Amino acid sequence: MSTHRHTDTVEVVTSVQRRRRWSATEKAALVRRTYEPGMSVSLVARQEGISAGLLFNWRRLERQGALTAVSSGEEVVPASELAAARAEIAKLQRVLGKKTLENEILKEAVEFATAKKWIARSPLSPKDDQ
């Protein structure tokens, strides 16, 4: 009779583990690895100790250009805010156009009045009626 000892390794975590923060360049590098020959999303995820779903999400964001937008160092805003800002800009441009037109009309009226030398007259007094 042979006796085999089976020992399982148990890891005990004694400290609080925080979420890992991935930079945009790290995310892009992991996504590129998933496209290499012989690699898959699941394999890269297992090697890095992350969820395959997270890696699939990064691939989707990379296809949409979101990973490069984040790495450009510029602030990213939701599409709804961008649409609202563009609508507000268009509205302000229309108002500015109207005010510019009104200003031009008033300038022309002033120029016309000064060229004709219009003089405002007071109403006739009762003596002038006779």
1 domain residue, yes or no: no
**Averages of pLDDT over each 10 residues, the chain, 130 residues:** 65 67 86 91 91 91 73 69 92 95 92 71 58
Q: What is the pLDDT of residue 79?
A: 80
Q: Is 25 in the same domain as 67?
A: yes
The reply to whether 68 and 34 lie within a common domain is yes
- Residue 84: give the domain boundaries: 77-117
User: Do residues 71 and 84 share a domain?
Assistant: no
pTM to 2 decimal places: 0.43
Residue 65, domain member (yes or no): yes
pLDDT score, position 3: 61
Whether 130 maps to a domain, the answer reads no
pLDDT at 125: 60
Mark whether 50 and 31 lie in a shared domain: yes
Separation of alpha carbons 81 and 77, rounded Å: 7
* CATH number, position 70: 1.10.10
Annotate the chain with DSSP letters as a single string: --------------SPPPPPPPPHHHHHHHHHHHTSTT--HHHHHHHHT--HHHHHHHHHHHHHTHHHHHHTT-----HHHHHHHHHHHHHHHHHHHHHHHHHHHHHHHHHHHHHHT----PPPPHHHH-
CB 71 within 8 A of CB 24: yes
Note whether 26 and 69 are same-domain residues: yes
Total number of domains in the chain: 2
pLDDT in the model for residue 101: 94
